[in-house]
Structure 1
Amino acid sequence: MECTISLEGLSTSQYGQLKYACAFVDETITGIDIDGDILRITHSSPLGNAVIEERAKRLAERFSKGDFGFKENILFEHRVDVPHHEDIIAELVEKKIIKVLEPGMFIFREPFSSLMRFMDDSFVAKIARRFEGLKEEHYPAVIHADTLNKTNHFTSFPEHIHFLTHLREDLDVIEGFSQTIREIGGWKQDAPLDLNASMPKPKFTMNPSTCYHCYEGLQDEVLEGDGITVTAISKCHRFESRNHTDFGRLLDFSMREIIFVGKPDYVKENRLKAIEYLKELAAEWDVDSWMEIANDPFFTNDFQVKASFQRNQEMKYELRLSVPYLDKSIAASSVNFHSNTFGNAFNIKFGKRSAVTGCVGFGIERWVFAFLAQYGLDETRWPAAFREQYADWQKKQF
């Protein structure tokens, strides 16, 4: 089935956000296209066209409440006429460098896996270690639901959350589950199991963002001096429905962050330094890129209020790398300022005031995907500085 709705009155700057959000309208959706000012949704929902159309219109209304200055604002550009314009994903799959387990979930092999480690090491050496007093931490991939609740993730990005649970500590439940699986010949998605009765409500979720654990670790602390800078890398998880078929939208991904916690001036000054360091790196590696003001894709009725506040206060910048064969770009890094949101939520103080926070994020897989999309797998075509640094790094391995 197919339903269409008019986008007349909706700013074209909102089309991408709307298309992304429509993937969550119904689990049977197979296609979402925007042609001119018409949104077209293909689906097989037993609810029928009327329900799907009403839900899509509800989302369109959410994104249509004024443009609120959603204009491009470029901080810097480093534009390059890159040599590669072919489908890099198809090439990586054909050469068995990546194995697609399902949309958004891959196994990465050489040289992709080595490039991931090289880039992460470079982000630490070239950017993170330039901040005085840097500390490194290591975080789990799982986060307590109570902790995630303090970040407002449940209300801002509910569609992303991967919940974790387990069989109840009940011998009858455990043995009954095992016996059912045995009788039907192994796990099946439609197995006749009453999971609501067999599993408790989730206490944990998969962590959607590296910096959350940093704030959790500082809960109820009073900081000394101007502030602290922490770096960490962790596996993060976000469910994005059929958007996982889009370039770089992974279900499971690696995020390196540099996190600033402390006085406002400390965080703001380090954030400005981070922007300059990213600018230097983009030029050094000669990647086709630019940094612009951005907003998070809030999945809430007050999307416009939150997103416009973020943009007007310039709280989020994204470093975007071009993907030539798609004629589009992807956000590979972000530089964020949270004010005292997390300082208040986790009772982090300096003196009697709540700490403010900011962070710089690096999507490791996205950086590698975008770099290879621009320069391909032939190392002789890579920028000289990148090629030399990668060769030097390889000599030090193992």
Structure 2
Amino acid sequence: MECVVSLEGLASSQHGQLKYASAFIDETISDIRLEGGSIHIVHNSPKGNEGIEERVRKLIDRFSQGDFGFKENILFEHQVATPYEGDIIAELTERKIIKVLEPGLFIFREPFSSLMRFFDYSFVSKIAGRFTGVTEEQYPAVIHSTTLNKTNHFTSFPEHIHFLTHLREDLDIIEAFSQSIREAGGWKEDMELDLNANMPLPKFTMNPSTCYHCYEGLQNETLESDGLIVTAISKCHRFESRNHTDFGRLLDFSMREIIFVGKPEFVKEHRLQAIEYLKELAVEWNVDSLLEIANDPFFTNDFQVKASFQRNQEMKYELRLTIPSVGKSIACSSVNFHSNTFGNAFNIKVGKRPAVTGCVGFGIERWAFAFLAQYGLDEAQWPAAFREQYHAWQAKAL
């Protein structure tokens, strides 16, 4: 079945957000596209077209409340005529450089895996390393559910969460589960298992953002200086349904962050420095890119209020790299200011006041995908500065 709903009355700036959110309205959806002023949803829902349309209209109401016409606000642009225009995902797959396990879940092989390591090395040496007193931390891939609750992730981005649990510590349950798998001839995706009865409420989830662990680690502490700077890389996980078919939208990805915690002036000053360093790197590597004011894709009923507040206060910037083959750009880095939200949530103080926080994030796989989407795998076509730095890194890494 195909449900077609008119987008009349919804600002064009919200069409992409509606398409993204529509992937979560029914698990039988097989295709979503924007066409001719309408959204087309192919599905096999027992609710029929009426049920799908009802949910789409609920989302349209959510994204059209109030006069929040989000305008494009570009702060920096570096335009380049890049040499490669092919489908880099298809080429990487054909050459077995990446193995697609399913949309958004990849195995990376050489040379892509080396490029990822080089990008991370560069972000540490060229940006994080320019800040005085920066320290490195290592974080786990899982995070306490109680910690995620303090960040408001459960209420702002509930659709993203990967829950992590286990069989109850009960011999009968463990043996019965094992026996049911044997009798079924192994694990089947359509098996009927009562997991709610066999598993406890998840104590952990997969971590959706690197910086959360930093705030968890500082909980109930009082900083002795104006602020601190931490850098870390960790695996992050976000479920995004059919949106994983979009270029660069991964289920499992690596995020390098530079995290600022301290007095407002300390965080704001270092955040502005990070923006300048990021712009310098985009020019140095000659990537077709732009920096713009952005907002998080909140999934809540108060989306417009939260998104508008972020934009009006310029709390989030995104560095976006062009993907020539699809005629679009993707966010590869973000620069965020959280005010005292996390300082209050985790009781982190500077003197007697809650600390404020900010961070700069680098999606490692996205940077590698976007760079190759512009310049291809032929190193002779790469910008000279990037090629020289990559070869110098390779010589030291071996």
Contact persistence 1:11–1:67 (CA under 8 A) = no
Distance in 1 between residues matched to 2:165 and 2:171, nearest whole Å: 17
- Say yes or no: does 1:39 pair with 2:39: yes
Q: Which residue of 1 aligns with 2:65?
A: 65
Distance in 2 between residues matched to 1:44 and 1:302, nearest whole Å: 30
1:1-398 equivalence runs, <5 A: 1-398=1-398
TM-score with structure 2 length normalisation? 0.99
| Per-residue deviation, 1:65 | 1.5
| Per-residue deviation, 1:195 | 1.1
Distance in 2 between residues matched to 1:93 and 1:67, nearest whole Å: 44
Q: Secondary structure at the match of 2:100?
A: strand
| Per-residue deviation, 1:140 | 0.3
1:25 alignment partner AA: I
| Per-residue deviation, 1:239 | 0.1
For residues 245-304 of structure 1, the C-alpha deviation after alignment (integer angstroms, 9 at most, x for no partner) is 000000000000000000000000000000000000000000000100000000000000
Structure 2: state its 5+ residue gaps: none
Aligned residue pair count = 398
Distance in 2 between residues matched to 1:9 and 1:304, nearest whole Å: 15
Contact persistence 1:86–1:325 (CA under 8 A) = yes
| Per-residue deviation, 1:6 | 1.4
| Per-residue deviation, 1:192 | 3.4
Residues 69 and 132 of structure 1, relative CA distance in 2, 3 Å threshold: farther
CA root-mean-square deviation = 0.7
For residues 343-397 of structure 1, the C-alpha deviation after alignment (integer angstroms, 9 at most, x for no partner) is 0000000011000000000000000000000000000000000000000000111
Distance in 2 between residues matched to 1:191 and 1:326, nearest whole Å: 38
TM-score with structure 1 length normalisation? 0.99
| Per-residue deviation, 1:66 | 3.4
Q: Secondary structure at the match of 2:124?
A: helix
1:27 alignment partner AA: E
2:249 alignment partner AA: R
For residues 102-136 of structure 1, the C-alpha deviation after alignment (integer angstroms, 9 at most, x for no partner) is 11000000000000000000000000011111010
Contact persistence 1:235–1:253 (CA under 8 A) = yes
1:355 alignment partner AA: A
For residues 122-153 of structure 1, the C-alpha deviation after alignment (integer angstroms, 9 at most, x for no partner) is 00000001111101000000000000000000
Q: Secondary structure at the match of 1:143?
A: strand
For residues 146-202 of structure 1, the C-alpha deviation after alignment (integer angstroms, 9 at most, x for no partner) is 000000000000000000000000011111111111121111112232211111111
